[in-house]
Amino acid sequence: MPELFENTRTAFALKSDAELERAYFLFKLIANQPLVRIGTAVTNFAIKTHLPVEGLIRATVFDHFCGGVNEKDCMPTVDKLWEAGVCSVLDYSVEGKETEDPLDNALEVTLKILDFVKEREAIPFAVFKPTGFGRFHLYEKLSAGKKLTKAEQEEWGRVINRFDLTCKKAFDLDVCLLIDSEESWMQDAADELVEEMMRKYNKKKAVVINTIQLYRWDRLDYLKGLMERADRDGFKVGIKAVRGAYLEKENERAEEMGYKSPICASKKETDENFNNTISFIVQHLDSISLFAGTHNEASSYLLMQLMEENKIAKDDHRVWFGQLFGMSDHISFNLAAEG
């Protein structure tokens, strides 16, 4: 098993020599942090000033890491992946919207994606971000335990309605729904809302799936508490486990505001937290379903080992492995080849 991810013939079978050369160039580029910062600034400037760079972006970074710009545009890539046994998730990654029209539009697009993926076995999940459905400040205020104004209460009611419409549709269509996690200082309100959706729609299986970022040292305890409530109240827990995406922002805010950082003190502690969490979930699969979002080989091997030790079938619908498109083909395709 330790040699599984070294099988490059399987990992890159779908890529041409030119695509592999492009991938090598991109990853070399990404590894150079000063160059990334400069490139990001230049790209943002070029887009804002309407310089003709979209074709270049599409032919390089975009095509390597993105399947397309809309559902139909993604399908050639989705079909290609499906032939190799790899499923897809169409990620409409809108977040941080501040007015009602974009929030309602995010709802409309997400509902449309649910209809689209229902007919396609290759796309078993849909996904949205909490701040695609509600203002960041509203989540933040609720997470801090502050009282909402009357207008904010009405606004929060609309956020709840967007969540409920989406989760109900996912339930009705029998499509699993991933809900992303964001910054810690707004996440409590999102977690509470997602838990209510689980309570309502996860009676028989995990349709609604919350995300926990395991660079946060408190997330395993949160999960254990959630499982206790689920077992008591008769619903299933769905968890997407990831390491996390806001590390620098989290640590900077904690330092500026003088509170203990919610982030693990080291990469080693984060890895241990992630591995302990997936181990806990595998031991409680009757209560919790797992979507393991990781590009870490050791964690992937561990999850495979845990499944084998606990006699969990390779195609058990309660356990999924997930990687971002183009980020870890050596994991995605070799796992698929193993069934």
Q: Are residues 336 and 285 in the same domain?
A: yes
Whether 38 is in a domain gets the answer: no
Number of domains in the chain: 2
Q: Are residues 218 and 306 in the same domain?
A: yes
């971002």: which residue's tokens? 324
Q: Are residues 207 and 135 in the same domain?
A: no
Q: Are residues 232 and 140 in the same domain?
A: no
Whether 18 is in a domain gets the answer: no
- Alpha-carbon distances, residue 54 vs 42, 51, 71, 183, 316 (angstroms): 13, 8, 19, 30, 41
What CA–CA distance (Å, rounded) separates 101 from 87?
A: 32
Grade residue 56 by pLDDT with cuts at 50, 70 and 90.
Answer: low
Q: Are residues 169 and 265 in the same domain?
A: no
For the cut 80, the answer to whether the pLDDT of residue 26 exceeds it is no
Whether 145 is in a domain gets the answer: yes
Express each pLDDT in 127-184 by its tens digit: 999 999 999 999 999 999 999 999 999 999 999 999 999 999 999 999 999 999 999 9
Whether 128 is in a domain gets the answer: yes
Whether 268 is in a domain gets the answer: yes
Express each pLDDT in 191-247 by its tens digit: 999 999 999 999 999 999 999 999 999 999 999 999 999 999 999 999 999 999 999
- The residue type found at 276 is N
For the entire predicted model, the pTM comes to 0.89
Q: Are residues 152 and 279 in the same domain?
A: no
For the cut 90, the answer to whether the pLDDT of residue 18 exceeds it is no
Whether 193 is in a domain gets the answer: no
Q: 270: domain CATH number?
A: 3.20.20.220
Buried b (16+ CB within 10 A) or exposed e, 106-134: bbebbbebbebbbebebbebbbbbbbbbb
Helix (H) or strand (E) holding 17: helix 17-30
Cβ pair 178, 89 in contact under 8 A = yes
Q: Are residues 160 and 218 in the same domain?
A: no
Q: Are residues 264 and 302 in the same domain?
A: yes
Whether 41 is in a domain gets the answer: no
Domain boundaries, position 334: 202-339
Q: Are residues 209 and 332 in the same domain?
A: yes
Whether 156 is in a domain gets the answer: yes
